Structure 1
Amino acid sequence: KSVQTLAFIQHMVESRFEGPNLIVVPTSVLPNWEREAEKFVPGLRRLTIYGTRREGMFKHIAESDLIITTYALLRRDLEEMEKYEFNTVILDEAQNIKNPNTITARAVRRIHARMRLCLSGTPIENNLFELWSLFEFLMPGFLGSQHAFQRGIVKPIKDGDAETLDYLRTRVRPFILRRTKAEVAKDLPPKVESVTCCALEEAQAELYAALARKLRAQVLADVDEKGLAKSQMSILDALLKLRQICCHPRLLKIDLPGFSNNLPSGKFDAFKDMVMEIVEGGHKVLVFSQFVQMLQIIRQWLEFSQIPFCYLDGASKDRFEQVDRFNNSPDIPIFLISLKAGGTGLNLTSADYVIHYDPWWNPAVESQATDRTHRIGQTRQVFSYKLICQNTVEEKILKLQEAKRGVAEAIIPGQDTWKSLTREDLEMLFEV
């Protein structure tokens, strides 16, 4: 997407379209865009608005071809940025404005530009309303008001109305250019994805069962009292605790009478065996987890086992040094990455194995993470493993993903989404 976008900007500059072109990006991928721009459009006059001393930068906007800034800074610099008329404003990882009522979403809508463009691998992460927010930035009013869209589109589609789904698809299709890897990289080697089932250790299974029974009673009582929508937080919190036990009991932060969380983890044991086999086979592997604490546990084991690795989470300041070290050092076989920090904007084609330590609702996010290595430049077959604990919430989440696929896929092919849970789904998730 970034190369296509830069080529498009180069074309507009050469065709004498007046005005600078603004790209707004998440802070984590700012260096990536600078590198790509330097590499692919070296002739353009570039300006990166970043850092604490930005006051003097704004006066150079008018004479620049390409301006890059971040969502966080755009909110702060809005007063300055509103003074300019841009040729285009482009949002990278546009799901950053998926909630239309945030300060960020409101800020980008106030920028003056002749043309607007959104780039995203996951335009619908959780619900259809996110699509409305993107279109409200691109073409205000195109999908009606927030209320009308909720009432006339979201609700009927949720209730299974195929006609409304078809209407929405027809309405948005002319404005979506979908670039699939299969079309772009005919020579890309195949990706093999598989689920690896792990058994809980005996004591770990007892802890899981005791907690699941306790949480099930709490959550269902909550739902009966407040309804599903208002119990969202307690449902997610309960599911989080069960997922933590599956990953490793040490992640669990609550005291359950009669139980210790200082227990072994069946999944961690299976993971260690898998990693040793991959490393001994001379391969490189990316390991993703949503839990930074889980990455720390893996990190301790790697240090103890004297296996070299690279590491990246939201707090890492040396993001690109870690990427370069991993890509350029044949003797570093493992890269530990938190899903939030490294799920997008990285190019790690030196790896040919991916392990998702813990699954979550959204397969699209997992798939984006796997595509850090399965992308243009990859010459080997990529193997992706998802570790799942049998007879637990993890296995049930997978079943739900299968059952609830489809809404986003119908609007934007290739996207999966998690729709709202029913009470029956909840009972199933917390069953022991």
Structure 2
Amino acid sequence: DDMGLGKTIQAITLILKLKEEKKLDHPALVICPTTLVGNWLKECNKFAPSLKALTYHGPERQLITAHADLVITTYGLLRREVEKFKKRNWSLIIIDEAQNIKNVDSKQAKAVKALKTGGSIALSGTPVENRLSELWSIFDYLNPGYLGTRQNFSRRFAMPIEKYRDQKKIALLQKATSPFIMRRMKTDSSIIQDLPDKIVKNEYCYLSKEQTAIYQRVVDTNIQEISNSEGITRRGLVFKLMTSLKQICNHPVHYTKRGTVVKEHSGKAEMTISLLEKIISAREKVLLFTQYKEMGNLLVQLIQTELQITPLFFHGSLTRKKREIMIEDFQNGNVSPIMIISLKAGGTGLNLTAATNVIHYDLWWNPAIEAQATDRTYRIGQSKKVVVHRLITIGTFEEKINEMISAKKELAELTVSTGEKWLSELSNQELKEIFKLS
């Protein structure tokens, strides 16, 4: 399925149905990229709270499956600890972003295929990225032998299709694989009627080791100072702490002002690159919002390094002429499918309907400002569905404030009128609870 059409929820629904029908004799296992572990757990808790889901991830991980319905882990951990997983029985195995096993000779693919299971599901928006052999590898996992040996498949399908675009072979391969594939695209007339005009998704990220250490140190240093202050001084210290923690959650380099921006040092950076890869492979355009011009510059560097694409960067220092040229290039040109926008410079007034995706890298905690930014593309003139990704770091103040605003309508209304000022009025104990790592 295309991104945003609910592959994760469909898979969770199946696990829930198996449990209800008492067919889940052993836990289900989800194997996914590290960036998606938090999302899987959050989606389970939200849509299927009766499922006992656990993650096998992080330094204190334990594979205790006695009372679990679902275990969520990563390709990397499975590859390194495959013997541990092979000793368990799994009622169902779901591999998310299944293109991760496209290289049949890789240790990762071999580890996945070594597990015992009663059934297998592969989730992917891009089952074939470069060569048809990638599709063969996924089918070799789902239904071993169905498409013949690798050599036979290459001779019978891959070579005629890739080299000569043989239409008969294409039709034959589609006929052979179609009973095992559910393929839905946002452009399908039967799908588009069922979709809301705007899909908003919370994308949950983990802090890296580097981020965790800095975050804890900053909280410990500042929370005591806040407790010993009052009035305008206290409010200033709360805002200072909140800004520091936002920057740490964005990327350690954003806070320290030193070093090179590396995606592995930030959960948000990894998630952003993962999302951008999918968006670009679907030939779509995206707006990437951040509150900070400095973070925008870091994102430009990161995207150039990881994707070999130079994004457009719309910020307050541009002249009016440069802004107009940049908007025209994005709307009607092929200069870049990515536009980074500093929220204050481009949060209102722009018409950027060429984008069908929005990523909020850091959140303002003001639904009105967030909606105004999203409406750069979700507006009159937009003929396609818009998918909005809100990046939230698990276990930090970002997750806790987001939950507070979501749970209390009156708080959401308060943030519209006061922005983040309400945070400075919280008690010392409430601030400790919000800012501490969990």
User: How far 1:430 moved relative to its partner?
Assistant: 1.9
**Mapped partners of 2:210, 2:373: distance in 1:** 32
Aligned-partner residue type, residue 335 of structure 1: M
Identify the residue that residue 104 of structure 1 maps to in structure 2: none
Other structure's SS at 1:373 match? coil
**Mapped partners of 1:279, 1:329: distance in 2:** 15
1:309 aligns with 2:311: yes
Other structure's SS at 1:192 match? strand
Q: Residues 210-239 of structure 1, C-alpha deviation per residue, up to 9 Å, x if partnerless?
A: 2212221122222xxx24x54211110011
Q: How does 1:273-284 map to 2 (within 5 A)?
A: 273-284=274-285
**Mapped partners of 1:341, 1:220: distance in 2:** 35
Identify the residue that residue 350 of structure 1 maps to in structure 2: 354
Structure 1 residues 211 and 416: alpha-carbon distance in aligned structure 2, compared to 1, 3 A threshold: closer
Structure 1 residues 261 and 319: alpha-carbon distance in aligned structure 2, compared to 1, 3 A threshold: closer
Indicate conservation of the 8 Å contact 2:360/2:390, yes or no: yes
Aligned-partner residue type, residue 434 of structure 2: L
**Mapped partners of 2:221, 2:417: distance in 1:** 35
Identify the residue that residue 434 of structure 2 maps to in structure 1: 429
Q: How does 1:180-195 map to 2 (within 5 A)?
A: 190-195=197-202
**Mapped partners of 2:212, 2:325: distance in 1:** 40
Structure 1 residues 253 and 316: alpha-carbon distance in aligned structure 2, compared to 1, 3 A threshold: same
Q: How does 1:20-419 map to 2 (within 5 A)?
A: 190-222=197-229, 226-227=230-231, 229-253=232-256, 264-304=265-305, 305-317=307-319, 318-330=322-334, 332-403=336-407, 405-406=409-410, 409=413, 419=422
Structure 2 unaligned blocks of 5 or more: 1-194
**Mapped partners of 1:214, 1:241: distance in 2:** 12
Q: Residues 167-212 of structure 1, C-alpha deviation per residue, up to 9 Å, x if partnerless?
A: xxxxxxxxxxxxxxxxxxxxx9610101100011123212211221
User: How far 1:416 moved relative to its partner?
Assistant: 8.7
Structure 1 residues 409 and 211: alpha-carbon distance in aligned structure 2, compared to 1, 3 A threshold: closer
**Mapped partners of 2:261, 2:285: distance in 1:** 32
Structure 1 residues 397 and 279: alpha-carbon distance in aligned structure 2, compared to 1, 3 A threshold: same
Indicate conservation of the 8 Å contact 1:360/1:397, yes or no: no
Structure 1 residues 407 and 237: alpha-carbon distance in aligned structure 2, compared to 1, 3 A threshold: closer
**Mapped partners of 2:284, 2:418: distance in 1:** 30
Structure 1 residues 408 and 246: alpha-carbon distance in aligned structure 2, compared to 1, 3 A threshold: closer
Indicate conservation of the 8 Å contact 2:367/2:412, yes or no: no
User: How far 1:261 moved relative to its partner?
Assistant: 10
Other structure's SS at 1:344 match? coil
User: How far 1:253 moved relative to its partner?
Assistant: 3.8
Structure 1 unaligned blocks of 5 or more: 1-187
Indicate conservation of the 8 Å contact 2:351/2:377, yes or no: yes
Indicate conservation of the 8 Å contact 2:261/2:298, yes or no: no
Other structure's SS at 2:331 match? helix
**Mapped partners of 2:267, 2:365: distance in 1:** 22
Identical amino acids, percent of aligned pairs:
35
User: How far 1:425 moved relative to its partner?
Assistant: 3.1
**Mapped partners of 1:298, 1:260: distance in 2:** 11
User: How far 1:417 moved relative to its partner?
Assistant: 5.5
Indicate conservation of the 8 Å contact 2:397/2:434, yes or no: yes
Other structure's SS at 2:228 match? helix
Other structure's SS at 1:252 match? helix
TM-score (norm 1): 0.50
Other structure's SS at 2:265 match? coil
**Mapped partners of 1:372, 1:248: distance in 2:** 26
**Mapped partners of 1:279, 1:407: distance in 2:** 37
Structure 1 residues 270 and 210: alpha-carbon distance in aligned structure 2, compared to 1, 3 A threshold: same
Structure 1 residues 288 and 425: alpha-carbon distance in aligned structure 2, compared to 1, 3 A threshold: same
Other structure's SS at 1:337 match? strand
Structure 1 residues 407 and 398: alpha-carbon distance in aligned structure 2, compared to 1, 3 A threshold: closer
Q: Residues 56-79 of structure 1, C-alpha deviation per residue, up to 9 Å, x if partnerless?
A: xxxxxxxxxxxxxxxxxxxxxxxx
**Mapped partners of 2:261, 2:387: distance in 1:** 32
Cα RMSD after superposing both structures: 3.1
Identify the residue that residue 138 of structure 1 maps to in structure 2: none
User: How far 1:301 moved relative to its partner?
Assistant: 2.4
Aligned-partner residue type, residue 223 of structure 2: R
Indicate conservation of the 8 Å contact 1:192/1:384, yes or no: yes
Structure 1 residues 206 and 230: alpha-carbon distance in aligned structure 2, compared to 1, 3 A threshold: closer
Structure 1 residues 254 and 220: alpha-carbon distance in aligned structure 2, compared to 1, 3 A threshold: farther
Identify the residue that residue 124 of structure 1 maps to in structure 2: none
Indicate conservation of the 8 Å contact 1:189/1:380, yes or no: no
Indicate conservation of the 8 Å contact 1:308/1:333, yes or no: no
User: How far 1:408 moved relative to its partner?
Assistant: 7.8
Indicate conservation of the 8 Å contact 2:352/2:376, yes or no: yes
Indicate conservation of the 8 Å contact 2:310/2:336, yes or no: yes
**Mapped partners of 2:401, 2:392: distance in 1:** 10
Indicate conservation of the 8 Å contact 2:353/2:376, yes or no: yes
User: How far 1:307 moved relative to its partner?
Assistant: 1.2
Structure 1 residues 234 and 373: alpha-carbon distance in aligned structure 2, compared to 1, 3 A threshold: same
TM-score (norm 2): 0.50
Structure 1 residues 404 and 218: alpha-carbon distance in aligned structure 2, compared to 1, 3 A threshold: farther
Number of residue-to-residue matches in the alignment:
238
